[in-house]
Amino acid sequence: MKLRIQNGRLIDPSQDIDAVIDLFIDNQKIVALGDAPEGFEEADVMDAAGQWILPGLVDLAVSLREPGLTQKGSIATEGRAAVSGGVTTLVCPPNTRPIVDTPAVAALIQDKADDAGMANVFPLGALTQGLEGAQLSNMVALTEAGCIALSNHRHPMVSTKVLARALEYAATHDLLVVFHPDEPSLSEGGCAHEGLMSTIHGLAGIPEEAETIALMRDLLLVEKTGVRAHFARLSCAKSVEMMADAKASGLNVTADVALHNLLLNDQILNRFDGHYHVLPPLRSEEDRLTLIEGIKSGVITAICSDHQPHEKMAKIAPFAATEPGMANVEILLPLAMQLMDEGDVDLTTLLTCLTSGPAACFGLEAGSLSVGSFADFIVFDSTARWVWTYEGRKTKGHNSPYFGDELVGRVMQTFISGQRVYQAV
């Protein structure tokens, strides 16, 4: 199908483009920007006057919950939620049931994602069998089955020796390893940032050192083994400093941050609302501001939703007894725009961290509107005011503190390979 998108404000940080120009699509791919290519015969024309044309968002952390946890979500429901939020490419963690530690499970997820016809889905494979941290998984087979990288998620390794062997093996085959830096002996049983707020409310705290001690160990092992590494969900100011030093020393490392850690700090615990129970926890205002500085300086190059849908009962309990996580993928962009509205981050930096930045972390061909790319893009109304309601949600998850909030900016249409997969009503 041939398609011309005209009169829209096309913004693509990967090409340093921000202009009202036309976009031409043919046979699933972008064939020109600006002037029509020679011989282009239009089949369809879409007028996007007053709206933004953006690369499809790339989200490095969307829990689909399938297989095994379909009471929380499924590949179909969370895929639908993703594209309604403008996410055209997503990475899902390996902590399904069964764990993604065999090629069969990796293939199952991708087959179901293809059947759903929503976002492009790339699973992470388990670094160790069953995520138990003892026996290495068949990493090569998992990557051959479509896993984009390997991770032990937030599950601990039985020893540093096992971790070192896993990294040596991954380095030998040039595989990417995703770390969630956490020292379990310090974080076990915790549900909130260790500080004044956790003390006031009698919540078990998770000290910053739970993250930074593990991060230091992991960086030393990355340096020793030479493995390609990505650090997920950084939450502490000290972690940003350590990542900056690691990059300056030449280590091949990247990092992301969850959007809620950029928007919120632990003062929100005064509400004693389990919807704000996340891991890693919401930390101090100093930590939040330093994470934003990490975005601005390029130390952190990806912002993710860390979408974790839950059934209703998972959040109906005292704060510490609730399951951690928020389900915000379908409002990722308008929520992220709040950082720009408050003057924390400029538009180019923000969009880079939602498109080409995360794509580059994992070597994905996504997040760009360059000629020859698959036509994954969104039409965004930056001025639309709307209320995201519980009843109108696409996710199966019940757990977001933003239900009922008025948001500014809305994804109106989402296209994948030139085909419209979502349109707001």
CA 365, CA 289: separation in Å to the nearest integer?
31
Do the beta carbons of residue 266 and residue 318 sit within 8 Å? no
What would the two tokens of residue 248 be?
A: 């300056």
Query: Position of tokens 């000629």?
Result: 371
Query: Position of tokens 């990092």?
Result: 255
**Measured between alpha carbons, how far is residue 400 from residues 96, 158, 315, 324, 395 in Å?**
21, 34, 10, 11, 10
DSSP, residue by residue, 108-174: HHHHHHHHHT-SEEEEEEESBGGG-SSSB--HHHHHHTT--EEE-TTPPPS-HHHHHHHHHHHHHTT
**Measured between alpha carbons, how far is residue 43 from residues 25, 53, 285 in Å?**
10, 19, 52
Question: In which order are the strands placed within the sheet that holds 44-47?
Answer: 29-33, 23-26, 2-6, 44-47
Under DSSP, the state recorded for 252 is -
Instruction: Work out the angle at residue 182's Cα, subtended by the Cα atoms of residues 223 and 140, and round it to the nearest 5 degrees.
Output: 55
Residue (of 262, 253, 214) closest to 231 by Cα position: 253
Catalytic residue among 22, 218, 287, 306: 306
* 306 included as an active-site residue: yes
Q: Which helix (H) or strand (E) holds 344?
A: none
Count of other CB atoms within 10 angstroms of residue 155: 19
The residues annotated as belonging to the active site are 306
